Structure 1
């Protein structure tokens, strides 16, 4: 029996090595399940250009947006596990299983995690002429006027929505949620004051904050951001233990051979430290990683667990 197991394992390893031996020898399709210009899309295009160089094959980005990334990811999980169709997923991938009553795929079993590309810190913003000069001002007003202050997000169940729900829970405040279909209109309405406050991805609002069109009250990460050194963390601003950001990972369909995963992960880790990549993404607040495949799996599991609690607390569900 032991001999049979050893033979089977050896055959599996040999097959994996053989699959990776000439890989890649043609262009790689990279599915991005968000719209062009989104944070995930911007990051994906920078990574695809440079990862393609590391692999000596072009990576062709294909946007398949809609429904919190589900249609695009569904195509990815249906692809042949040969390393020539890969995908980008973000925090929504971990949120969707708790948000949607029915999913066309299993968010864990139907994918192969390759690497966490990096994370996108969130920033709490208000209009530049808003009465809230600090996070303490906002929280004080929210406590004095329960349910009167509104906060916007890019959609029900989105990472921006759950960031707000986590704030409500940890700070003990009640604010009204206003969901948008995407972030651009939300940013415009925050600047005009129609929406009083919002969590937004740092790359999407950094220019407006630096230009003085939006006021940043706090950042969502445990440490301050190099691009916004004067903006306190939520923990520093009195919301003890607050930590929440968006993440972006490279994945393949389930069954991707270990040898190909190793090739892709190693190339991704190198790519995320390339000066050209850091120069393009770091000034926007993106934190490059290039984690191991094991760490990517652990991140996904932890994020699914965290999202389950936040979705339940928010009391939201989508058919």
Structure 2
């Protein structure tokens, strides 16, 4: 009798929990959704995340608000996201550093992609070499020729060691037979943009979208994109394959939630962001800033992440990085 009573109690309790979880999923979201952007305000990832979230929140009765938590190459903000209650009300923005740099270097104890549930990939864009108007360079050939004539003097700004731009500049040096004076800037690409404006840098590597403001103003110029295809948003910036180099690298934005977030909540978030992604408002805006919209849903993005890590780590091993 006692055992049957316990089983009956457990059955009722578990049943109540299932009903409670289903009810919460049906009512989701029950409060405002916190979007953790692990970069300072003002950068490309911040702008794209805000834009699409402003559109996506129209699907809900609640708001999606952005919280910028920079530090530790995105780990500071994403660790907070991972430790949040897994109910769908906290979402994080993952970039190249989140998926490649941190796992590769095992830089932050406890940081792991295994503690996240991918929701979707929003954008994917190639990196580019951008030169300051102070540099006097007007083309990729001029930059490379100057680097050959004066080794280790052309100042090129990139994100810290292990980042996509850092990997790109080392691969470019190897392929072009040059040596740059490489200067790393922690944080978002806005620091490199300021250095280009002041003449502190001759060139920098990040996406054209990240430098759209100073390119539009004429203070900087994109001279090559690290891609094999022409970017229609920047028809005057040739892909690096034009010069005989096989070098493709770039950035992206992935949305993720804490591990064990209910599948229903993930599906609801994915559907809202997919609808926002497909709007003419977002498509027109994102291409106007030189970024390529590139959607992968929750069922596809994990496979893409796994393949990206495998291929990138192989290149890093070959370069001894």
| TM tier relative to shorter chain | 0.7 to 0.9
Distance (whole Å) between structure 1 residues aligned to residue 274 and residue 193 of structure 2: 33
CA offset digits 1:87-138 (Å, max 9, x no partner): 11111112211134443221x2110001001123322111225353321232
Deviation at 1:58, TM superposition (A): 1.0
State the partner residue of 1:168: 173
> Is residue 201 from structure 1 mapped to residue 207 from structure 2 by the alignment?
yes
1:127 and 2:132 matched = yes
Q: Measure, in 2, the Cα distance between the counterparts of 1:58 and 1:174.
A: 49
Q: Larger Cα Rg: Structure 1 or Structure 2?
A: 2
Choose which of 278, 281, 288 in structure 2 pairs with 1:283.
288
Structure 1 unaligned segments of length 5 or more: list them.
1-10
Q: Per-residue displacement from partner, 1:192-217 (whole Å, max 9, x unpaired)?
A: 44322211222232232233221221
Matching residue within 212, 221, 232 for 1:215: 221
**Pair 1:60 & 2:42 matched:** no
Report the RMSD for the aligned CA atoms in angstroms: 2.7
Distance 1:119 1:55 in 2: 26
In structure 1, which of residues 90, 104, 108 is the aligned counterpart of residue 95 of structure 2? 90
CA distance in 1, matches of 2:258, 2:316: 26
- Corresponding residue number in structure 1 for 2:259: 254
CA distance in 1, matches of 2:91, 2:22: 19
- Is 1:308 the counterpart of 2:313? The answer is yes
Q: Assess if the C-alpha contact under 8 Å between 2:173 and 2:179 holds in 1.
A: yes
1:224 is the counterpart of 2:234: no
CA distance in 1, matches of 2:56, 2:161: 33
Instruction: Give CA-to-partner distance per residue, 1:294-314, whole Å, 9 cap, x none.
Output: 322123223323443455566
Is it true that 1:32 corresponds to 2:37 in the alignment? yes
5 Å matches for 1:94-173? 94=99, 95-106=101-112, 108-173=113-178
The TM-score, its normalising length taken from structure 1, stands at: 0.85
What is residue 12 of structure 2 aligned with on the other side?
A: none
- Partner in structure 2 of residue 233 of structure 1: 239
Residue of structure 1 equivalent to 2:275: 270
Unaligned runs of 5+ in 2: 1-14
TM-score (norm 2): 0.84
Q: What SS does the aligned partner of 2:85 have?
A: coil
